[in-house]
Amino acid sequence: MAFEEVRARTEIETLHQLLDDLDYYRLLLVPRTAALHEIELAFRAQTKALHPDHFFALDQADHKSKAQEIFRRINEAWRTLKDPALREAYDRELKSKGGVRMSAAQRELAERAKRQKHDVGEVARTPSGKRHWAMALQDLAAKNWKGAVLNGEIALKYEPDNRAIAKWIIKVRAMAQAS
């Protein structure tokens, strides 16, 4: 058995044994304070070093499947840490629960929050709130600041716990003062 094959097997075995103990940052070998470009560089280095094709020559299917599992986890880490909303949710989950992976429920919550943030149509939830929210958006598009704020406030009365609408109203008021 060649030295490179022994090294590859040892690397795969060791990393696979540690996989459930490594959070996404440790898996990518970056600190939790790493900037996005640092995370991307680390991701690319890890995928280059640990791509399953590098281990194709290993004669045991078990090692190949372990290499694939490691690679999937590296991709999962990248998908989570490159997205600011998912990263924020992951960091919160790490602090509160101490787990190493983002739970499916937490990922869904973060994805939903992200959609709501980027899709203004998903912000309001009640029928009356949606109606006034749509009018607020129309007023905003027409640069009718007063109407936008008024309809936003009415939508907020139907959805008093909707922080997205409350933040939006503050931004629109600032835009009105700036113009």
More confident residue, 99 or 173: 173
Mean pLDDT of all residues in 8-31: 88
Compute the Cα dihedral for 69, 75, 78, 81 and give only its sign: negative
Residue 58 has pLDDT above 70, yes or no: no
Mean pLDDT of all residues in 114-137: 80
Q: State in Å, rounded, how far the first CA of the chain is from the last one.
A: 74
Mean pLDDT of the chain: 86
Q: Which domains are assigned to the chain?
A: 3-117 (1.10.287.110), 120-178 (no CATH)
Of the pLDDT bands very low, low, confident and very high (cuts 50, 70, 90), residue 45 is very high
Residue 52 has pLDDT above 70, yes or no: yes
**Which of 98-106's residues contact partners 24+ apart within 8 Å by CB, and which partners?**
99/23, 100/20, 100/21, 100/22, 100/23, 100/24, 101/23, 101/24, 101/76, 102/24
pLDDT at site 119? 61
Under 8 Å between Cβ of 71 and 44 = no
Of the pLDDT bands very low, low, confident and very high (cuts 50, 70, 90), residue 164 is confident
3 state SS for 44-87 = HHHHHHHCHHHHCCCCCHHHHHHHHHHHHHHHHHHHHHCCHHHH
pLDDT at site 82? 92
